């Protein structure tokens, strides 16, 4: 391990560690492509995340308990892959982080699982003050619009653009990133709910149900998400809005965004998770 890397790591330690004492690996935290929940980070948001994730702790399943701390980011880099484009036609960009762990008997198995590709997928937790509609530009945290994310308007997929990052919390190893409902969780502040036209009411209700499941997952884990999802199936629009507000209150007033790292197919193209 070179001295520059070790010096960056030792900024976060109480004593100077040697190269033999630490395990270093790289991981993609997020990118600018549209995710499984039809949302993406703006370029400005990625720049903010690059700076603010230095020093942040890695945990498991967004469970913010001290015993779950397993790694720390000591360096970040915003990378542009000129050979790829996003779903909306822009150059593909991703946020790459370097993380370290202190080698101990307790984490030997974790290191082996990382090297073996078992522990690989991650997601991040952060706060974004804006969720901008890609169709009309409305900030859905403060305004309502009739556009439903996931639908196409003029041939373009409607999605939310996460912008104005206000805080970052942690990054997590996750077990089920490929599953849309269980693998992605988001927490927002209370805001106006869009009032679509009658023909879009069911689509809006389904979006509310997805939000409820994610909020329930963030508040109480998978079991809570499963129960909330089952309950939401029989509720009308106003009841769904009330239930979502209830979970938002449980989660707190901050707007926490959790976006998964790129899917498995992105790994081969961009060194999604390399170990050193």
Model pLDDT for residues 209-258, shown as the tens digit of each residue: 888 888 888 877 777 777 777 777 767 777 788 788 887 777 764 445 55
Pairwise CA distance, residues 171 & 227, whole Å = 26
Give the number of domains in the chain: 1
Least confident of 126-130, 148-152, 194-198: 194-198
- Contact call for residues 185 and 258 (beta carbons, < 8 A): yes
Query: Binning pLDDT at 50, 70 and 90, where does residue 157 land?
Result: very high
Residue with more model confidence, 180 or 95: 95
Q: Is 146 left (phi over 0), alpha (psi -120 to 50) or beta?
A: alpha
| 259 DSSP 8-state letter | E
| Domain assignment present for 276 | no
- Contact call for residues 264 and 120 (beta carbons, < 8 A): no
Please give the average per-residue pLDDT across 22-28, as a whole number: 92
Please give the average per-residue pLDDT across 165-174, as a whole number: 88
pTM: 0.65
- Contact call for residues 128 and 166 (beta carbons, < 8 A): yes
Q: How far is CA 94 from the centre of its chain?
A: 13
Residue with more model confidence, 267 or 113: 113
Query: Binning pLDDT at 50, 70 and 90, where does residue 176 land?
Result: low
Model pLDDT for residues 26-73, shown as the tens digit of each residue: 988 999 999 888 899 999 999 999 999 999 999 888 777 777 889 999
Handedness of CA 48, 266, 119, 160 (dihedral sign): positive
- What is the domain extent for residue 120? 3-126+166-175+258-270
Any idea what the Cα angle at residue 184 is, between residues 178 and 51, rounded to 5°? 110
Residue 257, pLDDT score? 53
Please give the average per-residue pLDDT across 126-138, as a whole number: 93
| Domain assignment present for 68 | yes
| 131 DSSP 8-state letter | E
Pairwise CA distance, residues 272 & 255, whole Å = 27
> How crowded is residue 89: how many other Cβ atoms within 10 Å of its Cβ?
7
DSSP strands (E only) in the chain: 22-31, 39-41, 57-60, 71-85, 91-102, 122-133, 152-153, 156-157, 160-173, 186-187, 256-260
Residue 144, pLDDT score? 84
| Domain assignment present for 92 | yes
Pairwise CA distance, residues 214 & 220, whole Å = 10
Position 8 pLDDT exceeds 90: yes
Residue 258, pLDDT score? 53
């Amino acid at each position: 391990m070179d001295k520059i890397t070790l010096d960056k790591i030792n900024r976060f330690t109480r004593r100077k560690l040697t190269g033999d004492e630490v395990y270093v690996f790289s991981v993609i935290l997020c990118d600018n492509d549209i995710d499984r929940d039809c949302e993406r980070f703006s370029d400005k948001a990625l720049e903010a995340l690059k700076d603010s994730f230095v020093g942040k702790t890695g945990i498991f399943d967004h469970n913010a308990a001290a015993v779950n701390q397993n790694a720390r980011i000591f360096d970040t880099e915003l990378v542009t892959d000129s050979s790829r484009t996003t779903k909306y036609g822009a150059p593909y960009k991703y946020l790459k982080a370097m993380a370290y762990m202190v080698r101990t008997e307790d984490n030997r198995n974790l290191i082996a699982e990382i090297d073996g590709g078992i522990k690989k997928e991650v997601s991040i937790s952060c706060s974004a003050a804006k969720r901008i509609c890609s169709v009309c530009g409305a900030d859905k945290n403060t305004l309502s619009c009739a556009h439903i994310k996931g639908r196409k308007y003029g041939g373009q997929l409607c999605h939310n653009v996460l912008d104005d990052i206000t805080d970052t919390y942690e990054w997590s190893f996750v077990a089920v990133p490929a599953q849309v409902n269980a693998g992605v969780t988001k927490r927002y502040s209370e805001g106006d709910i869009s009032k679509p036209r009658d023909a879009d009411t069911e689509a809006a209700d389904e979006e509310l149900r997805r939000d409820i499941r994610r909020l329930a997952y963030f508040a109480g884990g998978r079991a809570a998400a499963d129960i909330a999802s089952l309950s939401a199936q029989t509720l009308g629009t106003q009841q769904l809005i009330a239930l979502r507000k209830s979970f938002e209150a449980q989660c707190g007033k901050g707007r926490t965004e959790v976006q998964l790292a790129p899917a498995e197919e992105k790994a081969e193209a961009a060194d999604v998770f390399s170990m050193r």
